């Protein structure tokens, strides 16, 4: 992969901007079927990453992903910290002692998502962030295997993430606080899936607009 960790401060800022821009909408989603504190918890971790972004940019992908994961685990409250921390730490371990190209990065992301499934004891169809992360990982692997252009690949992962979050509207929640509401969760988007979609889309847009070659 021709993108180095030096781009991470820009990606972290893009994530911070999109979560801030959509904070009110996501909080309303979370208040409908959750605890209402998802955005606040997530922003705590994002702000911690912003403070460390220069340091993160100076290491390699293994070190950068490990640092991101451990920071999120220690700063984000609720289940999100553990799950996102697991995602990045698992990606770091997957890339250890391997040259990083697009296929290996896609495989590492898929491995990270598998680790999130295990940590959360959840899978697709349960109205969680996994309803975005699983299809996004599949999209990334598919485009890497087909050697699609970077911008084409990023556009597809954005579409996939948007479809994933929309699919949660008609799902019955089986995890977390929302699971206690039963059929009352039908008709609502999952807040965790929404922020996952927003962050993936923001990262993809930032990468697509960069001068990095495919």
In this predicted structure, what is the pLDDT of residue 2? 66
Q: Scanning the structure block, which residue is given the tokens 């940019």?
A: 57
Give the chain's domain count.
1
Where is average pLDDT lowest: 25-29, 77-81, 173-177?
A: 173-177
In this predicted structure, what is the pLDDT of residue 174? 85
For residue 191, being part of any structural domain is answered with yes
pTM of the full structure: 0.93
The predicted-structure confidence for 60-82, as pLDDT tens digits, reads as follows 999 999 999 999 999 998 889 99
User: In 5-89, at which residue ranges do the beta strands (DSSP E only) sit?
Assistant: none
Q: Domain holding 73: CATH number?
A: 1.25.40.340
Phi-psi region of 128 (alpha: psi -120 to 50; beta: other; left: phi over 0): beta
For residue 214, being part of any structural domain is answered with no
Rounded to 5°, angle at Cα 82 from 191 and 158: 45
**CA dist., res. 33 & res. 41, Å (int):** 16
Domain range enclosing 147: 5-208
Q: How would you class 102 by CB atoms within 10 Å of its CB: exposed for 0-12, middle for 13-18, buried for 19 or more?
A: buried
Band of residue 176 on the pLDDT scale cut at 50, 70, 90: confident
For residue 50, being part of any structural domain is answered with yes
Model confidence at 51: pLDDT above 70: yes
For residue 213, being part of any structural domain is answered with no
For residue 118, being part of any structural domain is answered with yes
């Amino acid at each position: 992969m021709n993108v180095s960790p030096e781009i991470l401060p820009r990606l972290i800022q893009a994530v911070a901007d999109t979560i801030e821009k959509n904070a009110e909408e996501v909080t309303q989603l979370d208040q409908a079927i959750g605890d209402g504190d998802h955005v606040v918890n997530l922003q705590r971790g994002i702000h911690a990453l912003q403070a460390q972004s220069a340091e993160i940019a100076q290491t390699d992908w293994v070190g950068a992903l490990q640092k991101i994961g451990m920071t999120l685990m220690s700063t984000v409250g609720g289940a999100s910290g553990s799950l996102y921390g697991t995602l990045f730490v698992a990606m770091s371990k997957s890339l250890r002692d391997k040259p990083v190209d697009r296929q290996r990065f896609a495989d590492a992301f898929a491995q990270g998502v598998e680790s999130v499934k295990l940590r959360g004891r959840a899978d697709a169809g349960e109205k969680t962030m996994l309803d975005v992360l699983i299809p996004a990982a599949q999209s990334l692997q598919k485009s890497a295997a087909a050697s699609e252009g970077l911008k084409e690949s990023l556009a597809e992962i954005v579409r996939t993430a948007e479809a994933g979050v929309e699919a949660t509207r008609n799902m019955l929640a089986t995890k977390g606080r929302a699971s206690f509401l039963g059929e009352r969760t039908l008709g609502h988007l999952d807040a965790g899936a929404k922020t996952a979609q927003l962050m993936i889309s923001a990262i993809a847009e930032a990468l697509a607009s960069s001068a990095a070659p495919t």
